Chains A and B, each alone.
Chain A
Amino acid sequence: MATAPNVGMVPFVGAPAAQAEAPALLRLAGWRRPALRVLSIGLFFAAWHVATTWDVDFYVRFQNIPTPAEVLEEAVALFGSAAFYVHILASLERIWLGFAIATTLGVGMGLLIGWFRFAEDTLFPPIELFRPIPAVAWVPLSIMLWPTERSSIVFITTLGAFFPIVLNTIHGVEGIDRQLVRAATSLGAGRLAIFREVVIPGALPSIVTGLSVGMGVSWLCLISAEMISGQFGIGYFTWVAYGIVKYSQIVVGMLVIGVLGMLSSALIRLVGARCMPWLPRRVRDAT
């Protein structure tokens, strides 16, 4: 196919930017900075070790706190026993269920509330009413409402994740550039196509932020609910360890919660980045 008139001579301004060669100083920093980070974590463990082996008592009391070595030993023992996995799996199942329900409801309602005035008038007021109540405050009522311990804890977990997800979705829809909607209509898009092609992808970065925050909150709610009312789960395990004076188990429980929380957040970020290849890397990492 022939080139259109005048087109052949046109220089392509601003083609996808070439990767600039990093200056020497930055390249050096390339390995120095990770090294510093590892060192920082090492120092934390060293301080923990010193404080607990010397039984430091300086207003904060370390006599009953297990040493890192004791915790490691306990962790090895626990991960060797099937009983420990039952707790972890119970928590993971609750998080997964609660988060999945919250995502479905939160994103679905958020898209409707953000885009349709009727949905905003009918669905949004109850959300505003219940939002200020922390999910943990629902625990007593939840125990009465739901037939099983599992369902009441999933309810709390769902509740915790729901609000940040729905609010961020609404925010994302409301932030959509109206010019893009106009552009779509002038290209022949109907109402449904606008919703699918403009509203959903336009709100997606904000939705992923909501999911990320929601995941953090749902862990918070899960652990609190398990500590208060559970019979299984990693939160229950950690609380019971305190009751039966197994102090090393408390710390193992805490660390497991931390690692699981971190992994689930990383999973959200990974899926988010996969769904939004159009965003520059640093923006995707920030969500």
Chain B
Amino acid sequence: MRGGDLTNGATGRIEITDLGMVFGRNSRTVEAVRRFTLMTTPGEFVALLGPSGCGKTTVLNAVAGFVIPTVGRIVVDGEIITQPGADRGMVFQQHSLFPWKTVLGNVEFGLKMRGVGKKERKSQAHAYLSLVGLTGFEHAYPRELSGGMQQRVGIARALVNRPRVLLMDEPFGALDAQTRLTMQELLLGVWREVRTTVLFVTHDIDEALFLADRVAVMTGRPGQIRDLVEVKFTRPRAAEIIATPAFMVLKARVLAQVREESARTLSGPRP
């Protein structure tokens, strides 16, 4: 049905090689990320999981092009990343919609930037709004929507550009537990349709394991990959899998690592 016109083909290969990120100047520097290497295959769903302050958002911002790597390089489909671009869609944690634009205006934004005509913009925006279940809210302003609905607009707004990769920075972190679960299921449904590569930052173990094909567990700062966990549950996944024994086994393994890293971050010397 829709699959044909929304998918992006086999693009979205992210190659992060020996990424190092150092912030600050002179003696007051903070090393956020060190020797971080990660490759994704096109259409893969990868979660970056780690304690807060471990540099996972920094990695995401570097792929987005918001920050420039201190060392190492990031390549998406053969192109070295030097600046932000519409080929890498970003969904922020919250409050990233343009408050002065309606839902439709927000979703159309990327198309408008590409010079797509008004009529075509509208019809494409409608398709993506329907994909995230927001038909009928085109003319609402962001402040009139709940947090979950705002995030759906954010997802539609990024996807309308048909990005090679979708970058998500704790997109459901500010939502209540029930809405978060609903949004996770919605995201999987949307992803099954668009089949773009997803790099998903979270500190929620259940979320990472429920959504992703692979979970990259990160160390405390400076962030490195500590473990790459393959999550082999069949798709489509239902929320119930998080209560299965197989899920628990994986969760126990990841939890032990995350706890260890959190403890190390708290007790360790100042970076």
**Residue positions of A touching B, CB distance < 8 A:** 1-8, 10, 12-17, 177, 179-180, 182-190, 193, 197-198, 201-202, 204, 276-278, 280
Contacts and interface: CB of A to CB of B under 8 A. Distances in A.
A12 B96 CA distance: 20
A13 B146 contact: yes
B31 to A, nearest CB: 23
B149 interface: yes
Given A7-B133, A177-B95, A198-B98, A1 B110 contact: no
B243 interface: no
Interface stretch (B185-193, B197-205, B248-256): B185-193
The interface residues of chain A, by DSSP majority, are classed as loop
Contact of A182 (B84, B146, B161, B192): B84
A6 B85 contact: no
Given A14-B146, A14-B148, A188-B110, 20 more contacts: A1-B127, A1-B130, A2-B2, A4-B131, A4-B190, A5-B192, A5-B193, A7-B186, A7-B189, A12-B149, A17-B144, A180-B96, A182-B84, A183-B97, A186-B86, A186-B89, A188-B114, A201-B98, A276-B100, A278-B100
B1 A2 contact: yes
Interface residues of B, number: 52
Contacts of A193: 113
Interface string B72-98: 000000000001111011101001111
Nearest to A189: B113
Contacts of A5: 188-189, 192-193, 236
Contact of B161 (A187, A277, A280): A187
B23 interface: no
Contacts of A189: 109, 113
Contacts of B233: none
Contacts of A277: 141
Given A183-B96, A197-B98, A201-B100, A4 B143 contact: no
Contacts of A188: 85-86, 110, 113-114, 161
10 contacts: A3-B130, A4-B131, A4-B132, A4-B190, A5-B188, A184-B98, A185-B65, A186-B84, A187-B86, A188-B113
Closest 9 interchain pairs by CB?
A: A14-B146, A188-B86, A5-B189, A7-B133, A185-B84, A188-B113, A6-B189, A201-B100, A187-B110
Interface in B145-163: 145-149, 157-158, 161
Given A201-B98, A276-B100, A10 B140 contact: no
A217 B1 CA distance: 63
Given A7-B132, A7-B186, A187 B99 contact: no
Most buried by B among A7, A184, A187: A187
Contacts of A278: 99-101, 141-143
Contacts of A15: 146
B185 A6 contact: yes
